[in-house]
Amino acid sequence: MKTIKGPAIFLAQFMDDKEPFNNMENVCRWVSNLGYKGVQIPTWDSRCIDLEKVADSKDYAQEYKEKIQSYGVEITELSTHLQGQLVAVNPAYDSMFDGFAPKEVRNNQKKRTEWAKNQLKLAARASKNLGIKVHVTFSGALLWPYMYPWPQRPDGLVHTGFSELSKRWIPILNEFDSNGVDLCYEIHPGEDLHDGLTFEKFLEYTKNHPRVKMLYDPSHFILQQLDYLSHIDIYHEYIKMFHVKDAEFNSSGKAGVYGGYADWKDRAGRFRSLGDGQIDFKSIFSKLTKYGYDGWAVLEWECCIKSNVQGASEGAKFISDHIIKVSDKEFDDFADSGNDQDEINNILGLN
């Protein structure tokens, strides 16, 4: 067993034009003062990183890394959630997802997809230059509009969707492999990889590519009413990243999993700040520790009630209090009667 690293924090939901969220120096010093030891960096935000420079220059990457460390934290991982989303977009979502892309590739699905693929390949090289072995992204979704089988899905629709999804991702996965970096897909509603079965299907269609791994975020499972604890038992070998995010599910006679198009605060399932939801983090940290997870525990703040400032302030202590410092001895070592083989044979009646 190994001790989980942390606490760390994902910066995506905090960057802003106002201090201290307006640049890396200010936000890193702020989270360091709160007790965080690491930051997960959204690569689409130019206030946080110049992804191309970090990917193309080892010297620049080292300077960037040392600068972050000088602010009191280290880089845990890079994120390409938004770029990964654009690797595969069903036409129904074209106009809404266009805002994730630079203006020069909007209204052109082919160019937008190629831009997104290139961003992922840059992230692979950037991670290597920073000495980071894992990276997080979204899978994108061609099939999500057909998640609920009504009207009946045509035979071959799911097969064609996953065939195309894997066709787009395999060259990216190969780039990550050549750079020695695991690609962790966040299992997330809205993505074609949104539960265990779809993750397994993607593994099948990518021929069990060795770089296909998983970011574990229990909040997305409780909103789907999926057993987030047994999920760890089943997929712990693939879990290489961990978002610590709380949520709750309070169904009623009016709304359930699908939410009735309500705003977040009025949904049966909604994200909450750490400690305000229903997720059993004691069991999660115990299971991850049991299975030898030694990556970072990263706060992702998403809450429809509490402010991000309060959520971040409370989150560092919450994570620290849940990290299990692995013992280097057995609790009953005081009663050790030795391990002499002759004595063992005597105990078993073998002499």
Q: Looking at residue 335, what is its pLDDT? A: 64
Contact 271, 304 (CB under 8 A): yes
Q: Looking at residue 338, what is its pLDDT? A: 73
Q: Looking at residue 332, what is its pLDDT? A: 67
Tokens of 278: 């229903």
List the domain range (segments joined by +) for residue 86: 5-347
Between the alpha carbon of residue 322 and those of residues 156, 221, 276, 278, the distances in Å are 45, 20, 15, 15
Residues 193-204: tens digit of each pLDDT? 999 999 999 999
Q: Looking at residue 336, what is its pLDDT? A: 75
* Predicted model pTM: 0.95
Q: Looking at residue 279, what is its pLDDT? A: 98
HEC assignment per residue over 110-130 = HHHHHHHHHHHHHHHHHHHHH
Q: Looking at residue 334, what is its pLDDT? A: 66
Contact 119, 43 (CB under 8 A): yes
Q: Looking at residue 47, what is its pLDDT? A: 97
Tokens of 306: 């509490």
Residues 93-127: tens digit of each pLDDT? 999 999 999 999 999 999 999 999 999 999 999 99
For the chain, residues with pLDDT lower than 70 are 331-332, 334-335
The number of distinct structural domains making up the chain is 1
Cα 244 to Cα 230: distance, rounded to the nearest angstrom: 17
Q: Looking at residue 330, what is its pLDDT? A: 72
Q: Looking at residue 351, what is its pLDDT? A: 77
CATH number at 86 reads 3.20.20.150
Cα 192 to Cα 201: distance, rounded to the nearest angstrom: 10
HEC assignment per residue over the chain = CCCCEEEEEECCCCCCCCCCCCCHHHHHHHHHHHCCCEEEEECCCCCCCCHHHHHHCHHHHHHHHHHHHHCCCEEEEEEEHHHHHCCCECHHHHHHHHHHCCHHHCCCHHHHHHHHHHHHHHHHHHHHHHCCCEEEECCCECCHHHCCCCCCCCCCHHHHHHHHHHHHHHHHHHHHHHCCCEEEEECCCCCCCCCHHHHHHHHHHCCCCCCEEEEECHHHHHCCCCCHHHHHHHHCCCEEEEEECEEEECCCCCCCCCHHHCCHHHCCEEEECCCCCCCCHHHHHHHHHHCCCCCEEEECCCCCCCCHHHHHHHHHHHHHHHCCCCCCCCCCHHHCCCCCHHHHHHHCCCC
Contact 176, 211 (CB under 8 A): yes
Sequence-ordered list of residues with C-beta below 8 angstroms from that of 29, at least 6 positions apart, any chain: 20, 71, 72
